[in-house]
Structure 1
């Protein structure tokens, strides 16, 4: 079996490859690629001008990877800065300058007459040629779960497991993960997940597609926000609502007798601003919904302040339930009736309950006959 090895620090202008698990307890500065055929643990900051590849699990403090980071197992780090190799080929001088600016101490080689630039301090000529000829699709690729406090990436991101982070800035590039939990803000290009995405601050992206989306602040997408999952229950019986929104055979709505505060909408945000919005369940915004094109929901649409759509488009609510159920399951709810309601029934916003959940005014009881 490959042995585990502990080393205090590592500074080199060339590639590093180790067969086995590696524990680095000191400062690490590598001018080429770092490849570990096992687990990698780095107690202090790890700076690599090339690509970091770990065939096991990686646990680190701060990580800088100039040509990307690939971890076959789980990744746990405090802060991660990665650059995609396609961009790095043209900007190695800039990346070297950024890397040196982040180092805890100024390299002594910068004062030597043998080195003219930051790039020459970090990497030798032969290693640099290898880096320029090697291209990878993703800047960050994790085969398991990814947990980091801060993440900045200039290339696409792919996380096969659950992605948990505090703040993410992907500089407008694609990001994909099995499940996403961000306790701060998230900025990226195309954002995709087959499961749920939860952002505790603001979300800024080109487009987002997932099963359910919950954003505590503003969810802003240049193009489309799409949630493909139905509403759920916050009381433990979520699995009962993962099928059809409305059972057309029995004519039964599984959420009809559920209190509003117990329902988890497919799309729930503080406010929404997008090109178009579509949800397989309900849509709920604490303040405003602003949509340039169509606003579509299979169930109800609720906003605490206002709902705005494009003049040549409109609101399509209740498209997943029969017309006879629009009043209870396919309504459009806001303080004032929004224009261009194409499907669904308008219901005026009622008073907020103690739970803080937005609800329409109570329907009058039917007279007894």
Structure 2
């Protein structure tokens, strides 16, 4: 069952949105390729470009979006009553904690509908929100899924909320943000591939000459394959792939993998470490540069299973999921990011160098 909420049609597949997706993918692909190629060929300007390009693009993207945000802020929101179907507080580390609400919104000039939101609520005020309670909400007329609870409504609306009783509507009458669609994801991937290929093609001579003449035979260790794992290491990067039935969350797997990549040398610095279910990738710091790095074996990988489990819990049960852990210190301090992707949702969190969670992002 669907209802007409007056929302504008999805804009993710418009030519402007697709062009923006292609440009974003190109910037990401170019930046990653510049970091890797710059590290391999020891090209300082190229490596610095890989670090600076996302920052510059993010600033330009923010500035370009200011007129749109100003127009959205100028739109007068609609006010309506809503009934709390259920709520669940998410663990937080401050006085304001995120609370997940399931609401039945009853506009004065349209049919009622269900919507799910997450909003920060102060611990002192949490007792004011309970199932079957009526609250005052506001939302943009063209985006009815962006509902926010009004914590201090006007006296008129406060009296209406206190004296009103609303009926629940079925969960099928639900409003949510329009999906991005396959076309948007495809152009982002296409842009990423184009950006990475452009960097590799521009510096292919340096890459191939380095492989053919610059490195002595001992500079690159050949791949070592077995029935259980495969290890490939160069002076700039290394990977370890596990066989079927094994996982890097198993006890001792990461310890053995890092040992094989660094040959037991704890001083071997890394720029980025990426861990997936059966694949470990490490980009090493270029020799002789001042690029920020860290010792891979110093990572709190005994905390990795718990971090993945905590991020997975936000998706709920019953859906297949994949996970990825990324560690880097490009901003000065070591940051560990965990992203878990289910059939429809994605949840993530960030932890510091000791494995303590410092930021969570709910499933969306």
Pairwise TM-score range, normalised by the shorter structure: under 0.3
Higher relative strand content: 1
TM-score (norm 2): 0.24
TM-score (norm 1): 0.23
By relative contact order (CA 8 Å, sep 6+), the higher-ranking structure is: 2
Higher relative helix content: 2
